[in-house]
Amino acid sequence: MSDTTTLPSSVSAARTGQANETGKLLWLLPLHALVWTLAAWLSRSNLDTPGDMVENYVWGIEWQAGYAKHPPLFAWITAAWFRVFPHTDIAYFALSSLNAMTGLFGIVALAGRFVPRRLALLAGVAMAVSPLYSNLAIKFNANSVLLSIWPWTAYFFVRYMQTRGWRSALALGVFAAAAVLGKYFSVVLLAALAFATLARPAWRARLLDWRTLLVAVAFAAALAPHVHWLVVNHFPTFAYADKRTGGSIGAALGRFGIYTLAQIGYLAASFVAMLLVVRNRRGEAAKLMAASVVKPSLHPDLWWLTLGPLFAVGLIACAARTQMASVWGMAQWFAVAPLWLAVLHRAGIAIVPARAVRVLGCYWLIVLAATATIGYLGARHNSDEAAEPRAELAAAAQNLWNQRYGHDVPAVAGSAHEAQSVAFYSRGQTQYWNMGEPETTPWLRLAGLDRHGALFVCRAGDVRCIVQAHWISGEQPEPIAVHKHAWGQELAPRDYVFFVVAPDR
């Protein structure tokens, strides 16, 4: 009798212990986001050299249903974030890290549909150490925003397929639309989910369920404002995307091969991290994880979710002869760590969740040491990335305008990265105008610049900008030199030219 009464209490105690352990380990992903926010701040003296992040901001604050290059979601997110947080680099890096963390929790949720919850967190831990969810994710743009959306879209897809719930159907439709609003590349995700639906008999049966209509309705409703914007503006984003196509089928196949090899490199650290949380039989675990990617029979559901995006990329890229970049697919591996976990769990290979603390702890120490070294050496050697004084240029521009007119710069134009930086590092009152392609910034007109005033900012060596700014403004150039301090050092000054269009009095 004592045996029968003792067993339930021991089982209950074990479950309680597992729940407590899972709760404690959940803090690993927020800590990971904090570490990468700090790491980005240590290693980078500016947001990003190509200027994507300041471009996100100047688009987003205008709250359009679409923009010249991309659909609007990532710009909206940026604008909403900086309605609350200060216009600083570290606040932007925090947004990037939060975006990646949201995706990692989506991967955990997806894994939880196939493995016990106490193990599911390890899928997020494994992907956290990949460059996809760490240093590449720090540049928040149209590619990295998908890191947070694709895993949750896949999660609601699986939940709908498993439960047929109407709430899951609506959520799937909304998240699928959000993915497209992030970047049109998300047709890859939609194609992958279609492949998975058709390949799995139980999922294929859902196509005849009336709730599937809810998916389509929610998708169409969420996407409708952007579609209307596309029609009214004659599909400008499609024209931009078309610039990345062209060439021979042979060249497209070659690019796809390079793209695929890059994906393997991106996943190498995650593969190792998963092995480190295996108690023993690591050789067998490594073989099983590698086999799971090429043998659908080991876990058909997750196999299609893992490989479906790669198949879709190959088909679309080769058909359109697209000039692909490897980072385009950075969000596509949301299911690979859940797949590895599921096949290891099925094979009875013991996994120790507590080891994730040591794995991530060692990883964080390496990351912080490496990024601090990179930042220091960049300042020491006065590298272009370290020495370019974008925030300091913005401060100089705003100080000049405030001294003369008593308020912030109302509008800025000129060399793209510099002008957009002046807008970003302002207090939210400065708009950006593209003087080379004014149709891409329809929220401002030349007449408005003359009435309210504007500042044209050009790099000293940007002759085209200087000539155009002088012609448009009719003003004389005002040269200025700006430098920055980093790591206790004064870096070499950079030369710029201002053209000041005074506001009407």
The 10s digit of each residue's pLDDT in 207-251 is: 988 999 999 999 999 999 999 999 999 888 888 776 666 667 777
Summarised one tens digit per residue, pLDDT across range 383-419 is 878 889 999 999 999 999 999 999 999 999 999 999 9
Q: With a cut of 70, say whether residue 59 has pLDDT above it.
A: yes
If one counts every other C-beta atom within 10 angstroms of the C-beta of residue 103, the result is 29
- Split at pLDDT 50, 70, 90, the class of 43 is very high
Would you say the C-alpha torsion 243, 247, 250, 254 has a positive or negative sign? Answer: negative
| Least confident window among 274-283, 382-391, 473-482 | 382-391
pLDDT of residue 385: 81
Sequence-distant (6+) residues with CB within 8 A of 311 are 192, 195
Which string of DSSP letters, residue by residue, matches 1-33? Answer: -HHHHHHHHHHHHHHHHHHHHHHHHTTHHHHHH
The pLDDT, as a whole number, for residue 3 is 45
DSSP one-letter code for 438: G
Which DSSP symbol is given to 244? T
User: Looking at the predicted structure, is the pLDDT value of residue 474 above 60?
Assistant: yes
pLDDT for 333 equals: 96
Residue 114 has a pLDDT of: 96
Give, in degrees to the nearest 5, the angle at Cα 117 between 116 and 118: 95
Q: Which of 344, 384, 328, 356 is nearest to 126 (CA)?
A: 356
Res. 325 pLDDT band, cuts 50 70 90: confident
Mean pLDDT taken over the chain: 91
Structure tokens at 209: 């369920």
pLDDT tens across 458-471, in order? Answer: 999 999 999 999 99
Secondary element (H or E) of residue 412: strand 411-414
- Average pLDDT of 256-274? 92
Give the 3-state DSSP-derived string for 322-389, with helices as H, strands as E and coil as C: ECCCHHHHCCCCCCHHHHHHHHHHHCCCCECCCHHHHHHHHHHHHHHHHHHHHHHHHHHCCCHHHHCC
Answer yes or no: is pLDDT of 4 > 70. no
Q: What pLDDT is stored for residue 376 in this prediction?
A: 93
What percent of the chain stands above pLDDT 70?
A: 94
| Residue 428: both structure tokens together | 């939210």
Q: How far apart are the first and last CA of the chain?
A: 94
What's the whole-number mean pLDDT along residues 171-176? 98
Give mean pLDDT, residues 72-98: 96
pLDDT reported for residue 125: 96
Residue 18, pLDDT > 90, answer no
